[in-house]
Amino acid sequence: MATLRLGDTAPDFEQDSSQGKIRFHDYLGNSWGVLFSHPADFTPVCTTELGYTAKLADEFAKRNVKVLALSVDPVDSHQKWIGDIDETQNTRVNFPILADADRKVADLYDMIHPNASATATVRSVFVIDPAKKVRLTLTYPASTGRNFNELLRVIDSLQLTDSHSVATPANWEDGQDVIIVPSLKDPEELKRKFPKGYTEVKPYLRVTPQPNKP
């Protein structure tokens, strides 16, 4: 089984979900996407994750991101679990959960790691851009809940760096200074792209205020 790498095209698929049949690429359309898997329904950590994701609906929408969860349990189980999530997390799950009972998607995205579990999907995360390219992959152990604020931070960075000649430093958050890519050297182009100026810490490390988003 081939491992998905950054820059690969995210495999398309059609699968049942808590909101009906989904064809993945059509579902994403021109949006960014977050596809993330869960070991099973009615599991405690997943319940908190899906609840928190639902509460971030406005944040994902602001970034043109569609969310799609996955578990290897069937649709009727998902529907009952969603009731529990809504009740215990004080929210309303507003995104689909794939019912990957045949493990079609789990196999496509290498979400089952036999040395961890022969049947349950690990906590995989894929961030996918509007061109359907994989831009981020993360794999968490089953015992550790994911940091969804970090996912938003990475998406902010990806969207900013796609539209400007910059990279984001360690622990960067939206609105903070960024780094000019080393390949950009032309003085006139630097003036045009960074009218606020920049500080040259080293020739390869030039810091500038964050440009305006497109």
Give the residue numbers marked as catalytic.
46
Helix (H) or strand (E) segment spanning residue 153 = helix 148-163
Closest CA to 156 of 197, 96, 214, 196: 214
For 88-115, the DSSP string reads HHTS---S-EEE-TT-HHHHHTT---TT
Distance, CA of 135 to CA of 210 (rounded, Å)? 21
E strands, the chain, are 14-15, 22-23, 32-37, 65-71, 97-99, 123-128, 134-140, 166-167, 178-180, 199-202, 205-208
Give the pairing of strands 65-71 and 97-99: parallel
| Alpha carbon 193 to its chain's center | 28
| Bridge partners (DSSP) listed for residue 20 | 18
Instruction: Locate 75 and state its tokens.
Output: 């649709």
